[in-house]
């Protein structure tokens, strides 16, 4: 939705091509880019920090709509209500976050969640986290009972359909997780527990903070929402971003690249598409250029395909490495992180 391209542009990338086949993601990225160009900081903060703006209709019509592509204009003309009742509670993932909110309310731990996200020290945050009954169940339940509950939760909540439509985990990636010998319930639990125990929500881990509260704070937010970064982007760096609603390969073919950020894109692909992607990367990435990616697998099978197409591949870290204590980054949603240099 634009956070990564804005971050890269703010740190001096001469050109960032943001590619997504999902028009909603591209529309959000484009709206952020135009908002930074056309609006003052406080308006951008209200829209994307708090997720609400009381004058969104007026601002959109007079300052943003004239500069949007037709696709993004059509999208936001129908979705402006997102900014009236909370941007981050809309879309597929937003519906999941809304369900999480109501679970907090119904089960009576909303206040405790808010206390958890505002803890001043990691020690205080850990104490709050480990006092939740569901965390105690995850940590201390007998293995046999946990296995049974995990099986039930996987069938009802973390099955392939829910993970794909609600959480954005496609079947191919779902199977990669299983190939490491971990069930989806165990994977999800370890993801949350590692982040909760090792990263501070109040001033660092804005990824989970927004999931739990529906908004950011100025102490815990993406870098583009800080005043200093906003100024750098507005002064010209935001112009280095181009937004493409297209297939990755189509945009890759447009020019040569020194850096390609694949995210977890390759996890989604079948063997034939991996071969095609590797061949295209070999052609379009300059010698000495670099690709980076993350994977839900500890040992993604496509690494050998990249190696066969002229890339020197390296694993930076795996979630199982002891020195990381079950947390390799603030999202902590992937099992391994990789880079590969073009020979």
Are residues 275 and 184 located together in one domain of the fold? no
Least confident of 25-39, 98-112, 157-171: 157-171
In sequence order, what are the residues at sequence separation of 6 or more whose Cβ sits closer than 8 angstroms to the Cβ of residue 29? Answer: 1, 2, 5, 18, 20, 241, 243
- Mean pLDDT of the 150-170 span: 85
Q: Does the pLDDT value for residue 252 go beyond 90? A: yes
Are residues 295 and 326 located together in one domain of the fold? yes
* pLDDT at residue 132, as a whole number: 94
* pLDDT at residue 166, as a whole number: 76
Are residues 206 and 226 located together in one domain of the fold? no
Q: Does the pLDDT value for residue 193 go beyond 90? A: yes
Q: What is the mean pLDDT of the chain?
A: 94
Are residues 101 and 194 located together in one domain of the fold? yes
Residues 97/178, Cβ–Cβ less than 8 Å: no
pLDDT tens digits along 259-301: 999 999 999 999 999 999 999 999 999 999 999 999 999 999 9
Are residues 133 and 204 located together in one domain of the fold? yes
Q: Give the gyration radius of the chain's Cα atoms.
A: 21
Any idea what the Cα angle at residue 177 is, between residues 174 and 178, rounded to 5°? 90
Note down the domain range covering 230.
Answer: 3-86+218-240
Residues 201/217, Cβ–Cβ less than 8 Å: no
Residues 340/306, Cβ–Cβ less than 8 Å: yes
CATH code of the domain covering residue 302: 3.40.50.150
% of the chain residues with pLDDT over 90: 82
- Mean pLDDT of the 202-213 span: 95
Q: Count CB atoms within 10 A of the CB of residue 320.
A: 12
Q: Which of 198, 213, 228 is a domain's end point?
A: 213
* pLDDT at residue 163, as a whole number: 87
Number of structural domains (the chain) is: 3
* pLDDT at residue 146, as a whole number: 79
* pLDDT at residue 231, as a whole number: 98
Note the pTM of the prediction, 2 decimals: 0.91
Q: Does the pLDDT value for residue 1 go beyond 90? A: no
Burial of 303 (0-12, 13-18, 19+ CB in 10 A): buried
Which band of pLDDT confidence, cut at 50, 70 and 90, is reported for residue 333? very high
* pLDDT at residue 144, as a whole number: 85
pLDDT tens digits along 66-97: 999 999 999 999 999 999 999 999 988 898 88
Q: Does the pLDDT value for residue 216 go beyond 80? A: yes
Are residues 209 and 226 located together in one domain of the fold? no
* pLDDT at residue 82, as a whole number: 97
Are residues 209 and 294 located together in one domain of the fold? no
Residues written for the chain: 343
Nearest Cα residue to 276 out of 313, 311, 309: 309
Are residues 319 and 274 located together in one domain of the fold? yes
What b/e sequence results for 223-242 when a residue is b if at least 16 CB atoms lie within 10 Å of its CB, and e otherwise? bbbbeebbebbbeebbebbe
Higher pLDDT: 35 or 156? It is: 35
- Mean pLDDT of the 137-158 span: 84
Are residues 100 and 158 located together in one domain of the fold? yes
Q: Does the pLDDT value for residue 308 go beyond 80? A: yes
* pLDDT at residue 64, as a whole number: 98
CA 276 to chain centre: 25
Collapsing DSSP states into helix, strand and coil, what is residue 19?
strand
Which band of pLDDT confidence, cut at 50, 70 and 90, is reported for residue 177? very high
CA distances from 73 to 28, 65, 94, 221, 305 (A): 11, 6, 21, 26, 40
Q: Does the pLDDT value for residue 239 go beyond 90? A: yes
* pLDDT at residue 151, as a whole number: 83
Are residues 100 and 209 located together in one domain of the fold? yes
């Amino acid at each position: 939705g634009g956070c990564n391209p804005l971050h890269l542009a703010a740190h001096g990338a001469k050109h960032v091509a943001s590619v997504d086949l999902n028009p909603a993601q591209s529309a959000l990225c484009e709206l952020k880019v135009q908002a930074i160009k056309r609006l003052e900081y406080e308006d951008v903060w209200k829209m994307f920090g708090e997720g609400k703006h009381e004058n969104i209709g007026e601002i959109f019509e007079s300052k943003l709509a004239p500069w949007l592509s037709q696709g993004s204009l059509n999208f936001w003309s129908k979705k402006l209500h997102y900014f009236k009742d909370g941007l981050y509670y809309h879309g597929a993932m937003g519906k999941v976050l809304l369900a999480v909110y109501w679970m907090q309310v119904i089960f009576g731990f909303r206040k405790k969640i808010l206390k958890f996200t505002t803890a001043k020290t990691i020690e205080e945050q850990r104490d709050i986290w480990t006092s939740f009954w569901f965390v105690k169940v995850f940590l201390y339940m007998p293995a046999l009972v946990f296995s049974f509950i995990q099986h039930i939760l996987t069938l009802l909540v973390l099955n392939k359909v829910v993970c794909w439509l609600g959480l954005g985990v496609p079947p191919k990636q779902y199977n990669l997780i299983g190939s490491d010998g971990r069930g989806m319930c165990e994977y999800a639990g370890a993801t949350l527990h590692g982040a909760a125990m090792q990263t501070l929500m109040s001033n660092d881990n804005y990824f989970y903070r927004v999931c739990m509260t529906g908004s950011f704070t100025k102490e815990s937010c993406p870098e583009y929402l800080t005043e200093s970064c906003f100024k750098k982007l507005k002064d010209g760096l935001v112009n280095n971003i181009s937004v493409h609603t297209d297939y990755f390969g189509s945009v890759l073919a447009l020019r040569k690249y020194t850096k390609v950020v694949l995210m977890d894109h390759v996890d989604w692909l079948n063997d034939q598409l991996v071969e095609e992607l590797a061949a295209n990367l070999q052609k379009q990435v300059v010698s000495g250029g670099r690709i980076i990616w993350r994977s839900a697998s500890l040992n993604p099978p496509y690494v050998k395909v990249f190696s066969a197409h002229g890339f020197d591949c390296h694993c930076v870290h795996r979630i199982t490495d002891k020195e990381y204590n079950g947390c390799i980054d603030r999202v902590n949603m992937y099992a391994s992180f990789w880079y590969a240099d073009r020979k």
